[in-house]
Amino acid sequence: MDEQLVLAVDLGTSGCKTALVSRSGTVLAWAYRPVTLHLLDGAGAEQVPEDWWQALLATAHEVLDKAGVSASRVAAVCCSTQGEGTIPVDREGIPLMNAITWMDMRGAASLRKQVRGWVNVAGYDPLKLARWLRLCGGAPALSGKDPAAHMLFIRDMYPQVYHNTYKFLNVLDYLNFRLTGRFVATHDSIQTSWVTDNRDVDRIRYNDKLLQASGIEADKFPELVPCTEVIGVLRADVANALGLRRGTAVVAGAIDNSAAAIGAGTLADGDAHLYLGTSSWIGAHVPQKKTDISAMIAAIPCAVPSKYLMMAMQTSAGNNLSFLKEKILYHQDELLNEEQLPDVYKIFDRIAAKVPAGSQGLLYAPWLYGERCPVEDRSLRGGLFNLSLDHTRETVIRAILEGVALNTRWMVDPVQRFLGRKLDCLTAVGGGATSNVWCQIFADVLGLPIRQLAEPMQANAIGAAYIAFVGLRQLDFATAAAQTRYRATYQPNHVHRNLYNDSFGAFTELHRRLAPLYQRLNHQGL
Ligand code: ADP
């Protein structure tokens, strides 16, 4: 019999990639459609849920056509999505406004007000409650970017929408609703709503005290399920639209950091991956819940049973390149056809490879939208430093790639402290990890071998497919990890490493000196 397949959907911030993946981790076909991010005045960042759905349908159609496989081979559909978005929906699952994405900071003031009000909630001491909440929730600090803040923002600013909200869904939950008609949240998608007790990772539950403190009615939260649960079957209209079997299973799936860790094959404790997408992170499975508030690193619930996922997250990585492409080098009207999008990044790579390591002293700060780790600071912004007349377009592009890597280097010590051991290697995944030049820059800047996944762009989709096969009891995570394929390993060049040690010193000095200035210029509160 032909090998079974999963239709795996990876909805990131920049677009939707869908792939047909076999149990052995082979990607038979994949397709991509961009999705617009609407940046609004006042720290807003929205997307239109219907755009996600249309991108999902279009990419699913394309891969099924390309692969030309019979519908009977598709055992399940499973999604991996950007986390921390919030979509208020009515009883029919229809969004009542645009989705508030993980980048949206407008809820900070409402969250601050709510935290202050905790003292009045059944007499709780806000400090004690905050500490307890961190303990239960696991994330390092409350943030205006969390769904907890988004929901309060909607409650305060759009009371009618709040009143009409039947459920608040995360991005993953929304796609699962569209696929199955069921309102569920996964153990990982719910975490930054701050209403679950995550102390026992195999028994994540809503907690009454946290629900009360959240300021949101308990019945507006969906039912909780583990990531590997089969949550239902495709709705008949969706199955028909995609030409898939009625009765095709839908597995709950996971948010992107958990799916990426599985797709990267980094299952063993402390075995770390580096995600290089719109944002970036270092992630590694760990056996226990732990939080380092000072460096903003936390172990959070994930798709692998009995494990937490250590997450050290940076807000800006590949978006520095997309910013350059879309806002600086091309006027919107002249923007290259999105189909050619990967080629633009290949041109950047070729250009950057021509410039010597160190970018002739040009330093780039990649903080386009504040930063999270190792310093939580919404007010930080990007910039070129030490720019001189003899620098060229080429130098600027290389400096941007190096700046993102220097920012990641900043996380390495806190990550090693968190894990209690030295990193010996990082597996690079995500769109940015397709760049050989960037992988080498990371190896040199971090002083670590960088192992490039065979298909870095597909890590989340492969992770989602493995989650589905595990949910269908056709695979276990250890077997999935053992079949990971790599394209190359980049060893650090020690001459470059020494040079980048100096750049790193200047980079952290730049932050230390500029942070107070940015705080004056861009103060955003909590
Ligand atoms: P997300 O899902 O987080 O939106 P992706 O994993 O799709 O992100 O990666 C998108 C990012 O990958 C882009 O912002 C771009 O910077 C980067 N990228 C894609 N292709 C290349 C390439 N060939 N070289 C360098 N960067 C690339």
pLDDT digits (tens, 9 = 90+) for 119-174: 555 455 556 666 666 665 555 567 788 898 999 999 999 999 999 999 999 999 99
> What's the 12 CA to ligand 1 centre distance in angstroms?
10
Candidates 319, 345, 429, 437: which one to mutate for ligand 1, based on the most atoms within 8 Å of Cβ? 345
Q: Residue 120 has what pLDDT?
A: 55
* Four-CA torsion 100, 216, 250, 33, nearest 10 degrees: 0
Q: Are 179 and 250 in contact (CB under 8 A)?
A: yes
What count of other Cβ atoms lies within 10 Å of the Cβ of residue 19? 29
The average pLDDT across 51-76 equals 95
> What's the 230 CA to ligand 1 centre distance in angstroms?
30
> What's the 27 CA to ligand 1 centre distance in angstroms?
18
Encode pLDDT of 164-186 as tens digits. Answer: 999 999 999 999 999 999 999 99
Encode pLDDT of 310-327 as tens digits. Answer: 999 998 999 999 888 877
Q: Whose CA is closest to atom 16 on ligand 1?
A: 318
Report residue 387 as tokens: 């720019």
Ligand 1 neighbourhood includes 263 CB (under 6 angstroms): no
φ and ψ of 404, to 5 deg: -65, -40
Q: Residue 372 has what pLDDT?
A: 85
> What's the 400 CA to ligand 1 centre distance in angstroms?
14
Candidates 47, 321, 439: which one to mutate for ligand 1, based on the most atoms within 8 Å of Cβ? 321
Residue 275 has pLDDT above 90, yes or no: yes
Q: Where are the beta strands (DSSP E) in 354-464?
A: 363-365, 383-385, 426-429, 450-453
Enumerate the β-bridge partners of residue 167: 89
Residue 335 has pLDDT above 70, yes or no: no
Report residue 526 as tokens: 């909590």
Ligand 1 atom with the shortest distance to the CA of 14: 4
How far, in Å, CA of 422 to CA of 493, rounded? 19
> What's the 438 CA to ligand 1 centre distance in angstroms?
11
Ligand 1 neighbourhood includes 196 CB (under 6 angstroms): no
Which of 238, 253, 94, 80 is closest to 167 using CA atoms?
Answer: 94
Residue type, position 500, single letter: Y
Report percent pLDDT > 70 for the chain.
91
Residue 344: pLDDT band with limits 50, 70, 90? confident
Q: Are 315 and 370 in contact (CB under 8 A)?
A: yes
Which of 525, 456, 410, 494 is closest to 19 using CA atoms?
Answer: 456
How far, in Å, CA of 482 to CA of 480, rounded? 5
Report residue 104 as tokens: 């949206």
How far, in Å, CA of 416 to CA of 310, rounded? 11
The topology (CATH level 3) of 268-460+485-522 is Nucleotidyltransferase; domain 5 (3.30.420)
CA atoms within 13 A on the CB side of 310: 33
How far, in Å, CA of 520 to CA of 526, rounded? 14
Ligand 1 neighbourhood includes 432 CB (under 6 angstroms): yes
Q: Residue 524 has what pLDDT?
A: 55
The average pLDDT across 468-473 equals 98
> What's the 112 CA to ligand 1 centre distance in angstroms?
34
How far, in Å, CA of 116 to CA of 286, rounded? 33
Ligand 1 atom with the shortest distance to the CA of 13: 4
**Look-up: residue for tokens 């009977």?**
72
Q: Are 168 and 121 in contact (CB under 8 A)?
A: no
Q: Residue 122 has what pLDDT?
A: 47
Q: Whose CA is closest to atom 12 on ligand 1?
A: 431
> What's the 318 CA to ligand 1 centre distance in angstroms?
5
